[in-house]
Amino acid sequence: MGFFLLLCLAGAGFFVAIGVMAIRAVFLLVLLPFRLLFGLVLFPLWLARTALKIVGAAIVLPIMAVAGGIALLGLLAAAVLAVIVPLVPILLVGAALYFVIRAITRRPMPA
């Protein structure tokens, strides 16, 4: 009984889908002349918009490339500082040891 009910529902769904597709096809065919008319009217506006976008991109892209290069240099400087700054205390201790040892040890007299 369950299989038969499932088969009936599937068949009903199939016929509903066919009906929806038919209504959609009729709707598109009725509106086709208006779509063609608006397409012909709006095509020059679309063309002008596209041309303006291309000109705007030609102006903005070099500026963005320079800004990106500057940002890349800033990131590189930050990365170098991130590596060097933790080493500063070790360098200070090393320098202090160097000067202490240099002050303590005897140097030969120049001839």
- pLDDT confidence of 43, banded at 50, 70, 90? very high
- Average pLDDT over every residue of 99-111: 82
Name the pTM for this structure. 0.49
- How far is Cα 87 from Cα 93, in angstroms, rounded to an integer? 10
* DSSP string over 24-69: HHHHHHHHHHHHHHHHHHHHHHHHHHHHHHHHHHHHHHHHHHHHHH
Rounded to whole angstroms, how far apart are CA atoms 44 and 26?
29
b/e 33-63 (16+ beta carbons within 10 angstroms → b): eeeeeeeeeeeeeeeeeeeeeeeeeeeeeee
What's the pLDDT score for residue 111? 65
